[in-house]
Amino acid sequence: MNIDEQVELLMQGTEYGDEDLKKAMTNELRQRLMDAEKEGRPLRVYCGYDPTSTDLHLGHTITMRKLRQFQDLGHEVTFLIGSYTALVGDPSDKNKARPILTEEQVAHNAQTYAEQAFRVLDQSKTKIRYNGEWLSKLSLVDLIRLGQNFTVQQFLARENFANRLEKGEAIYLHETFYALMQGYDAVAMQTDVQVGGTDQLFNIIVAGRKLQEALGQRPLVGIITGILPGTDGVQRMSKSTGNIVPINTGAEDMYGKLMSIPDMAMVKYLRLASRWTPHEIDVFERDLASGALHPRDAKMKMSFEITSIFYGDAEAQKSQDAFIKTFQQKEVPDEMPEYELKSGQTVLDVVLDAKMAVSKSEARRLFDQKGVRLDGETIERGDVPFPHPGVLQVGKRKFLRVK
């Protein structure tokens, strides 16, 4: 790729909320790429991940996909585990303070994060570092000097802090440390480019760039990726709302969940989560709009592409074949998990115990949407005793033989 093609790829799926800022970051990225080419060195690129849980979903991997694009272009990528920032908790996308984790919890979660990340990143080209390396060495005086670069007003102007202030809800002092700590990560690694979601805009564009400049470094280029909507196509993908596409539950489950997203979300999924080039996505979008590509076929292409990233082409093809057989041909699969019914269990008990829904709220929504069937008959309430043994279907893709 020439420089312009690289810039187009790397800026694909980015959102800044301000067109002038996006143009500025685009121009700075182009200049960095040109300088790196002249100097014969790769750009130093990183994204930080606070291991606050163990289960990753597709939304978590959007920044990893962007890191992989930098890797494929020959740049140096660091997967930074926030072993110290996770102890504070990032307030960026929260309307209340995050719970503070123990060092043991962080270490356990970090191992799982790294293992799952290598389903997207090239392990042989990835550096893994922990920000405790440098943050643990900062003294109180160091922290004070970092804080001198910011005003309280800058923090209170942040949307989530402003909303909490207006509602009279607590904003804890330690929450303001987070941006300083993340900004110092960029300084410690002499970062050229930092990748993060739109919820990290302040931490990257304000804190990271400002601290680098204050400490004599060239301010980094912020690559701010859009946020992936969930399977409802509207709300941010989140375990709490049950609209997630997990990355560890198998190829068939991933393919089926991707096939369930609304048509309107397909292009965004491709721009954020696929390996396709901007040109390939433009052609896809154009063919979809003109009718040259049927929405069903388009969604199958999208689902195959994303599933194959995590499970390979062979598993993606098996998943597609199973989907066609089960849903397009209206067949119940020959093989499915079995479940031994226990005395007194309700339908909801079975759905949750068999992990056919990730939460009670998701299960109730499925009942409300008439998405739960036993031997083809709709079950409208989850609090009734399980009627009789048979094939339980939950949503479009999950089947269970209840004995």
Q: Which pLDDT score, from 0 to 100, does residue 68 have?
A: 95
Residue 4 confidence (pLDDT): 95
Judge whether 227 and 199 are in contact, CB under 8 Å: yes
CA distance 27 to 31: 6
Residue 227 · residue 198 · CB < 8 Å:
yes
SS3 53: coil
What's the alpha-carbon Rg for the chain, to the nearest Å?
23
Report pLDDT for 93.
47
Q: pTM score > 0.85 for this model? A: no
In DSSP terms, 195 is beta-bridged to 223
Position 330 scores a pLDDT of 64
Domains and CATH numbers, the chain: 3-225 (3.40.50.620), 239-328 (1.10.240.10), 338-402 (3.10.290.10)
Pair 293, 284: CB distance under 8 Å:
yes
- State residue 85's pLDDT score: 80
pLDDT of residue 95: 45
pLDDT at 331: 67
Name, in order, each residue with C-beta under 8 angstroms of 261's C-beta and a sequence gap of 6 or more: 229, 231, 232, 233, 269, 299
Q: What is the pLDDT of residue 318?
A: 94
- Residue 272 in tokens: 């954020």
**Would you say 255 and 304 are in contact if contact means Cβ atoms under 8 Å apart?**
yes
Strand-pair partners of 224? 196
What are the 10-residue block averages of pLDDT along the chain, 403 residues in total?
94 93 97 95 93 78 94 96 75 52 74 80 92 92 92 83 87 84 94 93 91 95 93 83 84 90 92 93 92 89 95 94 76 81 92 90 87 83 87 87 90
Q: What pLDDT, on the 0 to 100 scale, is given for residue 110?
A: 75
